[in-house]
Amino acid sequence: SWGKGHAQLPETLTVSPLLPQIIQTQLSQQAGIKVRATTKAPLLSVRLDRRLSGREAYRLSVGPRGMQLLARDSSGLLQGGQTLLQLVGQYGRRLPQLSITDSARFAWRGIMLDVSRHFMSADFIIQLLDEMARYKMNRFHWHLVDGGGWRFPSDKYPLLTKKAAWRTLADWDSWWQHDRRFVDEGTPRAYGGAYTKDDIRRVVAHAARLGITVVPEIELPGHSNELPAAYPELTCKGKWTFDATDVCIGRESTFRFFEDILDEVLELFPSYYIHIGGDEAAMNHWGSCPDCRARMKQEGLKDEHELQSYVIRRAEKMLAKYGKKLIGWDEILEGGLAPTATVMSWQGEKGGIQAANMGHDVIMTPGSGGLYIDHYQGDPKIEPVAICCYSTLEKVYSYNPIPEAIAPDKRHHIKGAQANLWAEYLYTTPLMQYRAFPREIALAEAVWTPLEKKNYKDFERRLDNA
């Protein structure tokens, strides 16, 4: 609601110490003023008020005698702070008198970035986090490993970043269709990269200051053709082959490997959720592998789908020891879903509907709903090459994460939605930014705003003025 008149920000703005430090810093930088925390009659008073209703709720008021930010919790303080930064970005130091009461529709408002197929630096990730926070997105799903290269640093398995993080070609199509070989770190003209533990600590710490949870993904049992470049014993063939995309499930050494890796992941990532992939296993060697056949007989598994489910259930138990919760792509439904798993529904909404109706938590990410923002957003004749398909701005904005096919008493299992940026054709950082924006902003509003208040034409108008 709008008041009358304006309020001028002074050269030194006094604020309550409760205003998050990162908001204080950004406010100083954006407004070109000094910001000083004080408990003595600050111009911007900040306090918690549990009476505010709604997820991450806040109320921001700009009046003739000062400003006030009330928030239900620490997340609400950050979101209200971001709104204040938006106002300063639009109006400068002369703010209109107004009152904004706001809260989030969904708890999970995310973006996934694949850094395996094309590597993105930690500095760039931090820039992306800043933009996510600006639009109140709060989950960064970091797809750290895949067939394009292993990016996670491991002390226990150092060959992963020495032999499986660098490949012969940067061009994805040429490499994936005809080569798929990895080379040692330091090889001339090799393409790739890996993060250090300090890189990850820096990203996780910055995200935490912004109220963003970093959810790591360590892919198993498929999408793993980088692993035999470093540790060939993890595959059924015991060597690198062009089509070796799955790990061997029959050998206990495979599970020791993943348990060791997850131990190292949990040292760096405090997230309650850990993503283990679980999608698109080729299953092309399991049927002929003596170890996998023995495992199936021993565990009474009737087919390869149940063998994959066995892997997911064991991974779930590994994480449960630490009080963590497993997330997987919707293929983890095949062969039986692990009891406490959360499903990320990407193959349309069917998997998410099934999982929610079974009583499992779900995050919606369907390409059919426009949430694969690596797809074209315009005419392919003039757009940079993409993997396929269309994901227009309006389609992303219009997406509703709760399908009608979910029973009304199960709809609370839909935790939110995220946009996915797969990196087959993200050759450069500017190209990644072009794919992400403005569609990421459209999803941010789609998962924050109440369904009845969404208005695409109004969104377009405001986006043009941003």
| CA dist., res. 430 & res. 160, Å (int) | 28
| CA dist., res. 284 & res. 299, Å (int) | 20
Helix (H, G, I), strand (E, B) or coil at 69: strand
Residue 185 annotated among the catalytic residues of the structure: no
Determine which one of 118, 223, 285, 375 is catalytic. 223
Residue 375 annotated among the catalytic residues of the structure: no
Determine which one of 49, 73, 131, 280 is catalytic. 280
| CA dist., res. 310 & res. 98, Å (int) | 56
Main-chain phi, psi angles of 258, to 5 degrees: -70, -35
- Tokens for 419, please give them: 């946009």
Which among 9, 430, 422, 461 has a CA at the least distance from the CA of 217? 422
CB 315 within 8 A of CB 308: no
CB 114 within 8 A of CB 423: yes
Give the sign of the dihedral formed by CA 34, CA 42, CA 20, CA 83. negative
| CA dist., res. 34 & res. 85, Å (int) | 14
| CA dist., res. 69 & res. 363, Å (int) | 31
Residue 223 annotated among the catalytic residues of the structure: yes
Determine which one of 56, 102, 114, 146 is catalytic. 146
- Tokens for 466, please give them: 């941003």
What is the DSSP code string of 326-380? EEEEGGGGTT---TTPEEEE-SSSHHHHHHHHTT--EEE--GGGT-BTTSBSS-T
- Residues recognised as catalytic: 146, 223, 280
